[in-house]
Amino acid sequence: MGIRSEAWVLKESGKPLVKESLELADPGPTDVVVEVEACGLCHTDLGFAEGGVAPRMALPIVLGHEVVGTVRAAGEKYQALVGQKVLVPAVMPCGDCAFCRSGRGNACLKQKMPGNDIHGGFGTHLVAPGASMVSLADAPPSVKTDSLSVVADAVSTAYQAVKRSGLKAGDVAFVIGGGGVGGFTAQIAKALGAKTVVCDVHEERLAGLASLGFDHTCNVKGREAKEVRKELHGKAKEWGVPSLDFKIFECSGTAPGQTLAYTLLSNGATMLVVGFTRDSVNVRLSNLMAFDATVHGSWGCPVEAYPAVLKLIYDGKVVLEPFIERAPMSKINEHMKALAEHKLAKRLVMDPRV
């Protein structure tokens, strides 16, 4: 078939990505070839590029796991998808193992993640399993499809964390870290009827979040976790919400954020670990016993949940534009440097054509 991808390739950890022309293999019977319209930039990409986390596929690899595009070719099973605009999920389970059959496809040992298990979206084309493609045919004209690239991870991961927590209307959602996943977690929690509190260390980010109507924002920069606990638990008391209905989401991916989230636990509360850091955290696990509390990990989002995620966006209950910024993929190494130096205020959505 001879489809080529002009891609930015990670050839060696810690070194800049290199642009190369890659000839893609013909799609197998269950695969599709997607022409990439946009790909988001995530801290996970930075971890792979710097070498702090090793991708499961051996180098060289094309990173990028927040992809929207158009199916240009397909194996015999998914010919009907050719020409359709789709979202490529960041987590694509096999669909047939014990984990998948039990509804835990997120933990599937055979899952495929673009930019980790297979070549990803830092290029003009990629090959992915057809069964996982999410149609964007119903996207309203008011929603820009390139923006939907962030749904593949940042928004869908947030949705899965909220659903895993068992959050219901009237609960309090304490969200630690308001950028990226955290901002979307807070929006989803609010859309589902929770009192929503967002904590961050950046005053400008908090000001932007406040404009979305969250119930309370809290600048935690330089503050002791116990002091913040007193403030936030006090807010919940004002609202008449018992700790049984506390849902705590650690989205900062930092050791101080994880420590704060754990400190917010109380009797019957639930905590979700959503952000990732390689740093260690020193906590007293006996608090879980003493509080009869629960802590969950949350990885990715099952493919079958994407329609519900997209509906929140299509209905205007979750907004994307304030949280993203468009950028050319040709400057990917500059973007990576800015991400490493914490200079990106928004999630970048990159166009591989420029």
The tens digit of pLDDT for each residue in 128-164 reads: 999 999 999 999 999 999 999 999 999 999 999 999 9
The one-letter amino acid at 257: G
With DSSP H G I counted as helix, E B as strand and the rest as coil, what are the percentages for the chain, rounded to 5?
A: 35, 25, 40
Q: How confident is the model at residue 345 (pLDDT cuts 50, 70, 90)?
A: confident
Average the pLDDT over 235-257 and give the result: 97
Give the C-alpha separation, 36 to 303, whole Å.
19
Residue of 112, 84, 147 lying closest to 310 (CA atoms): 147
Peptide bond preceding 60 in cis form (omega within 30 of 0)? yes
Beta strand residue intervals within 133-178, DSSP E: 134-135, 172-176
HSE-CB for 185 with a 13 A CA cutoff: 37
Phi-psi region of 242 (alpha: psi -120 to 50; beta: other; left: phi over 0): beta
Contacts 24+ apart (CB under 8 A), 309-317: 309/151, 309/155, 309/156, 309/159, 310/87, 310/134, 310/136, 310/138, 310/139, 310/148, 310/151, 312/159, 312/188, 312/191, 313/143, 313/148, 313/151, 313/155, 314/138, 314/139, 314/140, 314/143, 317/187, 317/191
Q: pTM for the whole thing?
A: 0.94
The predicted pLDDT at position 180 comes to 85
Question: Which domains occur in the chain, in start order?
Answer: 4-153+301-351 (3.90.180.10), 157-297 (3.40.50.720)
DSSP 217-248: EEE-TT--HHHHHHHHHHHHHHTT--GGGEEE
Check pLDDT > 80 for residue 1.
Answer: no
Helices (H), the chain: 43-50, 98-101, 154-165, 181-191, 203-210, 225-238, 255-263, 286-291, 306-314, 332-340
Per-residue pLDDT for 6 more than 70?
yes
Pairing label, strands 85-88, 67-74: antiparallel
The 10s digit of each residue's pLDDT in 191-239 is 999 999 999 998 888 988 888 999 999 999 999 999 999 999 999 999 9
Query: Buried b / exposed e across 48-65, counting CB within 10 Å, b at 16+?
Result: bbeeebebebeeebbbbb
Interior/surface letters 100-117, b for 16+ CB within 10 angstroms, e for the rest: beeeebbbbeebbbbbbb
Which pLDDT score is estimated for 346? 87
**Percent of residues, the chain, with pLDDT higher than 90:** 90
Mean pLDDT of the chain: 95
The predicted pLDDT at position 89 comes to: 97
> What's the pLDDT score for residue 315?
96
Quote the tokens at residue 342.
């914490």
Rounded-to-integer distance, Cα 189 and Cα 185, Å: 6
